[in-house]
Structure 1
Amino acid sequence: MAEAIVKNGLEDYYHYRSEFAEKAAENEDELLQKLKVFDDESILQEFVESQQDASEIQLTISGINCAACGWLIEKQLAKLSGVLKVGVNVSARRASVTWNNKKLKLSQILNHIENIGYHAKPFQPEQHEASFRQENKAFLKRLGLAGLMTMQVMMLNVGVFFDLFGHIDPQTKQYFNWISLLLTTPVILYSASGFYSSAIRALRAKVVNMDVPITLALTLTYVSGVFATAQNSGQTYFESLCMFVFLLLISRYLEHSARYKASQLSANMLEYMPSTANLLVGNQITPVLAKSLVAEQLVLVKSGEMVPIDGVILEGEGQLDEAMLTGEFDLVSKSIGETVFAGTVNQLGTLTIKVNKSLKNSMLNQINILQNKALLSKPKIASLADQFSQYFVMAVLVISLSSYIIWLQIDASQALWITISILIATCPCALGLATPSALSCAVAHLNSKGILLKRADALEQISQVDWVALDKTGTLTEGKFTIAEFFCAPELDKAQCLQMAASLEQYSSHPIAKAFSELPCGYLVSDFSAKIGQGVTGTIDGVSYKLGSQHFIGLDVPIQMQSCNAFLTTVDKVLCGFLLTDKIRTSSVELINAIKVKQLTLLSGDIPSVVESVANTLKIPNWLAQQTPEDKLKVIKQAQANKHVVLMVGDGINDGPVLAQADVSVTLGAGSDLAKSSADVILLDNSLEKIGLVFAIAKRCKRKIIQNMSWALGYNLLILPLAVTGLLSPWMAVVGMSLSSLIVVVNSIRLLK
């Protein structure tokens, strides 16, 4: 196995080709040598995300036909020493691989994928789209050939079946059989090649997939026809064989197109990926590739142009269409100092933008990556379906063999065709599609509404949530603080206290700091530090000061400052108090009305009077005030210990630990980077009421998965006895199997509406 690990891939060769070859011309040593170009540092920087010893890459995989292909790739890559995590999105033909870069090289991973029987290369939007179009074209060619040959063979056999020419002599019938064999052979060798290659990959990996019984049935039908034709005895079913392949390909093609549509709506966003930019150097404008831009460069965006990069406006004002990020079509006004994002469209005005992120690290690309990661995560029901389908295929093979032996004793002439009917009718394709098709469509729907889902399996947990915790500051409220009241010790200068407070808060990233941003900063601060969610400390003119909550300062508060929620103190004295207020979001009321759970709790680090006021306004029955991040974490853990499924909604740096601890977590697009990295769901336009949509889609998705699974299992349990008893002919079997898969896909697509 270790030897096989070192020999696996196929990227360099395919990376520089416009078409995929069926087989590599080189031997494995030559192939591995070519693939070593992908271990070059410049290549890794472009395609690979690395953190210490862990590296991650998004790959385009060609040759994927169904859910069984994704399962096979995941299982085989997981066996490589050094691979930490692997997930395959069948719909988008994408894979995400995380590995230990000290134990394994990228070239070895690519080589292993090739040895499994698939072609892989680092994901690039343009080439990914080109590979889909090429696969689609090849699909249509195979489908077209199968359809053409089916018509010709059917026409030849109509005369034989109905004896339209009067009495057909044996020589003429034999001639028709040879012509039918000639026409059927390219259908088996070319049109059905995808089924055979898929089955061979599985058998090489010592597993069975859904294409194994199909290819076995096709082979038995073809071989029996060849012998019958050569010996001029027995019955041939060449017309049925061609029709089997034709109908199977129609089914697979429709599934392929439907899954691709869902994946495009959900994750790729390729039409929004900018390609060029107007680089501004002095007064000269130079067209350049958007991906070549680096931080601190200046770009010019005219009216009607797409913003090529994430950056900050230095000059000009604009009206931007950010629908591709938020799902909202109202134009957003942007002016000097505000951030704009790659892929949005400047509808009015001219902007000079300073680049602050490369295209690779832009929000658009990060959303694309996160969406694809979401579709790689599987809920428990999907994993169970994958495992069940493997056992089911084995059971079908055993039942088919047993039926063949029994029917040889009953009616030998029917034994083969009944066996073929069983193999085709009971193929668990619908079972394999039941979960991924529903998840893809659900994620697509949410994405179109400006809701970014980082884990598709979170949908399964959301449907089970019965305990919701809400942060206040910046979540239920806008996070735009103002100083409503200010109390100062009589012997102190008010202006001096305000300046000291402003000087301390200018180094803080907490939303509270914005309340002091308009005040003058007249002091130099040293030894500054911040305690997440509680306050800040710093030294001014040799004196240590604290500014934060009462819990943070650790001192008794004077009576006149009891209504305050932030205090400026020295080591032993409270200097002044501030009552900081924040406006409640208009969407908070809609959120509370939309969430129907057993327990709803407001968790806040603010003082009781303020928290109680917000809770009463929003009619939240349970609230806890002056909660530190550690306190919030304890509350969440206690709820989970009581067997609750917890959803946490937060946006600040102090919410990172609880967002990570909760079963499902939601944050806002305006939230901190830490909150967004910890959360499972991101509301890109900060509309809290959309959490209700997440709950609704999660419940609908769960229902669709259950419906799909019930249909797939019910169909197979119903069709199996009909096939075993000989009541189901082979052509009926292939029609039933194809319709079963299509019903599952069509049912899932309803989630897009």
Structure 2
Amino acid sequence: MNLQPSSQQCFHCGLPLPADTTYSATVCGESRAMCCPGCAAVAEAICSSGLDDYYRFRSDFAAQGDTQLAGTLDKLSVFDHADIQDEFVVDSGNKQTIQLSIDGISCAACGWLIEKQLAKIEGILQVAVNVSARRATISWDPQRLKLSQILASIEQIGYHALPFEPDQHERLYQHSSKTLLKKLGLAGLMTMQVMMLAIGLYFGLFGDIEPDVKQYFHWLSLLLTTPVVVYAGSGFFVSAWNALKARFLNMDVSVSLAILGTYLASGWATVTGDGDIYFESVCMFVFLLLVSRYLEQRSRYRSAQASANMLKHIPVSATIVEGSEQRLVLAKHLTIGQQVLVKAGETVPIDGIIHTGHSDIDESMLSGEFEPVSKSQGDPVFGGTVNQQSPLIITVSKTLKNALVNQIIRMQELAMAQKPAIAHFADRTSRHFIALVLIIAAASYIAWQWIDPQQAFWILIAVLVATCPCALSLATPTALTCAVARLNRHGLLIKRADVLEQVLDVKEVVLDKTGTLTKGHFSLSHTWQCADIPKDRLLQIATSLEQVSEHPLSKGFNHPVPLPVSSVTVVPGGGIEGTVDGITYRIGNCTFAGQDCGNDYVMANVFLSANGVLLGAFSLTDEIRDNAQAFVDSLAPLPTTLLSGDREAQAIRVAKTLGIDTVLWQQSPDQKVSYVTQQQRKHPVMMMGDGINDAPVLAAASVSIAMGNAADMAKRSADVVLLGDNLPVIADLFSTARDSRRIIKQNMAWALGYNVVILPLAVCGLLTPWLAVIGMSLSSILVVSNSTRLLKERI
């Protein structure tokens, strides 16, 4: 065996053996100690199938067996549901195919074991396990086998398999990657053959070649080159034709002219038996171009993978609680208001509010922060996060289609569909550069017709190939894609790609207080009775009105018996008006309540009135976030301003504590917009907020950031969404923006500099077509490789 565990380790998973373990399994004719019944069951299943060789060839331990294997197998029947078949399974009549994401794969022996185990099952038609991607593609006969049986077979040998449904980016990548690899393989194979013939012809490796034999080799090269041009190079021609139809010049126009020109000229020389032949240059040109395109595609895929694969974190099934009964359903069938049980260790299936329980939630897949977040009754939880400690019952607040994970993916797609100014500059530059190159190429051809007609055409080709602006076109998009992916890992969702450009011009940061710099978890600290109404009645009316509000202050009112409210009107930045028991009340700031509160209630921040009469005042206090000080410090030397709708005492307390330069209090939404608009006449402003009342000012700022727990309206208005509450990561937005600008400048400098240097050499006839091909391809590869440096934390 390649791997020999010690006597104190579980033979299957390698974990330490408990002191009183009684579990064992017979492996390769010997009794082996196991740490749990899960590992013992897995080992027995492997050996009873005659697959003992797994333990001989493995190079790493397996994952620990499922200690509740029977319960896991019972749940797998949900995958035979017709709806899930429609969503994940490709049905070809007498054959069904599915792609599975498999947890627990650690080495090549794991892939071998899964393939061998499934191959023994009657009805399995084909199995292919990709160890590096931890995925398996399986085809089976639906008349003889169910999907749940396949998944159960994988579970029994210690691996956890789920249907993998890639989103649109993933599907497009797989399809285009497969096609591109076919073309790349064909071009590479044919290039080797044609180069072998060309080397023999050029250097006389075949000795003295008769003219007929030499012509035969030329015809053979033409035959080998034709599929390279027609199939492998077809993408360039289609792209160029579409661009010309749209009266547009792209880099594939010059590429297509170079490929077709060289191929047709060499073909004509082969037919007539007179002229130079460059079939090897055609093949090499297409091959190296495809290599650079493939590397570009890979870099884009790597950078987009973080958001593109987020959907696989969402479990397929969920446990609904209906009274004293529980039943298993598909997560996508959950509706708002249903209650779902999430056991310890399970993944939250959908967005919701905790109804019962207290636990730590791992939200790293959303925020990038691996420290668990403590949550209890009333706190929001999000699909794809992991419940670590105790069982929770959550009330569904959003359907799966509108869950945060899906929102992130949609917003990410929108961000990458937009182009910043520097990308538009690169596009315009490349179009103008192509036009200039075509003019220079034509002028070079005409000039060389006078100097040396035999070289004129090949110099034309060298100019077209060497100056193909592939690198220039890749300079900006590859860098921006990698930068956005890097920020995703840190828990920052970019909704506009040009944010990375604009954030570096920011000269002032404006901050909201409640829910942004403070925790937003308010508690009622004091109540003033301003009329002859019992305190309990005041709290009851206030709680009833605040039930319809999303403002963080509303959570501070929690009377156990709220009253029905009618004719409700919510005024952003003001408060709520509603009718309770036939009386119309107003609750909100003192202005909205229709009062001039003066200094009588200096610590109060919520006021209740009816018919213009002040009935009560409330003081709700909020704690400053633990990381708020580090966040404000990280913004230096930018000046900071606190815009708060709160009263003077509360706003000044927070500003002084955090060292914020300027503070304005009792600001209405209109006043906030007015301030930001006024400041932006002087310099660009960045605004950060979280409530509905912050939506207008977020939309008005040059760059805006919304907290992850912000109101939906605020998140729609913002340019950046902070997933989680780790404020200091905002500094990463500035550092990544600086790094991406530097990388883009490097890429542009190289792309333009290369073309400026190479163009005179090509025009002067000092550059052969095949050298031009190598130079152009290396230029593109260098730009893509430089951009992928942004995926690192430090560059």
TM-score between the two structures when normalised by the length of structure 1: 0.78
Alpha-carbon displacement from aligned partner over 1:423-469 (angstroms, at most 9, x marks no partner): 01111111111111111111101111111111111221111111211
Q: Are residues 202 and 275 of structure 1, via their aligned partners in 2, closer, same or farther at CA, if it must alter by over 3 Å?
A: farther
Counterpart in the other structure of 2:743: 704
Counterpart in the other structure of 2:711: 672
User: Alignment partner of 1:427: what SS?
Assistant: coil
Counterpart in the other structure of 1:254: 295
Q: Are residues 526 and 298 of structure 1, via their aligned partners in 2, closer, same or farther at CA, if it must alter by over 3 Å?
A: closer
Counterpart in the other structure of 1:434: 475
Alpha-carbon displacement from aligned partner over 1:169-189 (angstroms, at most 9, x marks no partner): 333322322222222222212
Kept after mapping to 2: 8 A contact 1:302/1:346: yes
Kept after mapping to 2: 8 A contact 1:307/1:342: yes
Question: Whole-Å Cα distance in 2 between the matches of residues 153 and 553 of structure 1?
Answer: 86
Moved more, 730-739 or 542-551: 542-551
User: Alignment partner of 1:474: what SS?
Assistant: coil
Q: Does 1:198 align with 2:245?
A: no
Q: Does 1:310 align with 2:326?
A: no
Counterpart in the other structure of 2:571: 531
Question: Whole-Å Cα distance in 2 between the matches of residues 486 and 299 of structure 1?
Answer: 37
Superposition deviation, residue 571 in structure 1: 4.3
- What pairs with 1:540-619 in structure 2 (closer than 5 Å)? 544-557=584-597, 560-571=600-611, 573-596=613-636, 598-619=638-659
The partner residue of 1:223 within 264, 285, 303 is: 264
Counterpart in the other structure of 2:421: 380
- What pairs with 1:126-525 in structure 2 (closer than 5 Å)? 129-278=170-319, 288-297=329-338, 299-314=340-355, 319-335=360-376, 337-489=378-530, 493-517=534-558, 519=559
Q: Are residues 539 and 382 of structure 1, via their aligned partners in 2, closer, same or farther at CA, if it must alter by over 3 Å?
A: same
Which protein, 1 or 2, shows the higher relative CO under an 8 Å CA cutoff with sep ≥ 6? 1
Question: Whole-Å Cα distance in 2 between the matches of residues 681 and 265 of structure 1?
Answer: 17
The partner residue of 1:720 within 736, 759, 784 is: 759
Kept after mapping to 2: 8 A contact 1:605/1:628: yes
Q: Are residues 542 and 222 of structure 1, via their aligned partners in 2, closer, same or farther at CA, if it must alter by over 3 Å?
A: closer
Question: Whole-Å Cα distance in 1 between the matches of residues 556 and 332 of structure 2?
Answer: 38
Question: Whole-Å Cα distance in 2 between the matches of residues 253 and 556 of structure 1?
Answer: 68
User: Alignment partner of 1:686: what SS?
Assistant: coil
Moved more, 245-254 or 526-535: 526-535
Moved more, 345-354 or 685-694: 345-354
Moved more, 449-458 or 701-710: 701-710
Letter paired with 1:650:
G
* Count of aligned residue pairs for this structure pair: 630
Question: Whole-Å Cα distance in 2 between the matches of residues 615 and 315 of structure 1?
Answer: 36
Question: Whole-Å Cα distance in 1 between the matches of residues 171 and 612 of structure 2?
Answer: 69
Superposition deviation, residue 540 in structure 1: 5.4
User: Alignment partner of 1:550: what SS?
Assistant: coil
Alpha-carbon displacement from aligned partner over 1:317-356 (angstroms, at most 9, x marks no partner): 6544321111112334455554432222344555555444
Counterpart in the other structure of 1:88: none
Q: Are residues 722 and 712 of structure 1, via their aligned partners in 2, closer, same or farther at CA, if it must alter by over 3 Å?
A: same
Which has the greater radius of gyration?
A: 2
Letter paired with 1:444:
A
Superposition deviation, residue 627 in structure 1: 1.0
Letter paired with 1:742:
I
Kept after mapping to 1: 8 A contact 2:382/2:404: yes
- What pairs with 1:722-737 in structure 2 (closer than 5 Å)? 722-737=761-776
Kept after mapping to 2: 8 A contact 1:279/1:297: yes
Question: Whole-Å Cα distance in 1 between the matches of residues 232 and 549 of structure 2?
Answer: 65
Counterpart in the other structure of 2:697: 658
Q: Are residues 188 and 567 of structure 1, via their aligned partners in 2, closer, same or farther at CA, if it must alter by over 3 Å?
A: closer
- What pairs with 1:28-177 in structure 2 (closer than 5 Å)? 125=166, 129-177=170-218
Please, which runs of 5 or more residues in structure 2 have no aligned partner? 1-86, 88-164
Q: Does 1:649 align with 2:688?
A: yes
Superposition deviation, residue 303 in structure 1: 4.7
TM-score between the two structures when normalised by the length of structure 2: 0.74
Letter paired with 1:325:
L
Superposition deviation, residue 143 in structure 1: 1.3
Kept after mapping to 1: 8 A contact 2:593/2:612: no
Kept after mapping to 2: 8 A contact 1:290/1:359: yes
Superposition deviation, residue 222 in structure 1: 1.2
Superposition deviation, residue 404 in structure 1: 0.6
Superposition deviation, residue 610 in structure 1: 2.0
Superposition deviation, residue 661 in structure 1: 1.0
Q: Are residues 268 and 538 of structure 1, via their aligned partners in 2, closer, same or farther at CA, if it must alter by over 3 Å?
A: same
Counterpart in the other structure of 2:54: none
Counterpart in the other structure of 2:666: 626
Kept after mapping to 2: 8 A contact 1:468/1:597: no
Superposition deviation, residue 278 in structure 1: 4.8
Question: Whole-Å Cα distance in 1 between the matches of residues 782 and 465 of structure 2?
Answer: 17
C-alpha RMSD over aligned residues = 2.8
Q: Are residues 665 and 553 of structure 1, via their aligned partners in 2, closer, same or farther at CA, if it must alter by over 3 Å?
A: same
Moved more, 451-460 or 561-570: 561-570
The partner residue of 1:748 within 787, 791, 795 is: 787
Alpha-carbon displacement from aligned partner over 1:151-170 (angstroms, at most 9, x marks no partner): 22222222222223443333
Q: Percent identity?
A: 52
Letter paired with 1:629:
P
Q: Are residues 544 and 200 of structure 1, via their aligned partners in 2, closer, same or farther at CA, if it must alter by over 3 Å?
A: closer
Counterpart in the other structure of 2:778: 739
Superposition deviation, residue 365 in structure 1: 0.8
Superposition deviation, residue 486 in structure 1: 3.8
Superposition deviation, residue 210 in structure 1: 0.9
Kept after mapping to 1: 8 A contact 2:292/2:781: yes
Superposition deviation, residue 526 in structure 1: 5.2
Superposition deviation, residue 647 in structure 1: 0.9
Q: Are residues 228 and 376 of structure 1, via their aligned partners in 2, closer, same or farther at CA, if it must alter by over 3 Å?
A: same
Kept after mapping to 1: 8 A contact 2:240/2:250: yes
Alpha-carbon displacement from aligned partner over 1:353-384 (angstroms, at most 9, x marks no partner): 54443221111111111111111111111112
Superposition deviation, residue 231 in structure 1: 2.1
Alpha-carbon displacement from aligned partner over 1:540-564 (angstroms, at most 9, x marks no partner): 5665544333333343436543443
Moved more, 168-177 or 408-417: 168-177
Kept after mapping to 2: 8 A contact 1:467/1:597: no
Kept after mapping to 1: 8 A contact 2:321/2:341: yes
Kept after mapping to 2: 8 A contact 1:462/1:664: yes
Q: Are residues 172 and 359 of structure 1, via their aligned partners in 2, closer, same or farther at CA, if it must alter by over 3 Å?
A: same
Letter paired with 1:690:
V
User: Alignment partner of 2:727: what SS?
Assistant: coil
Kept after mapping to 2: 8 A contact 1:156/1:180: yes
Question: Whole-Å Cα distance in 1 between the matches of residues 660 and 314 of structure 2?
Answer: 42
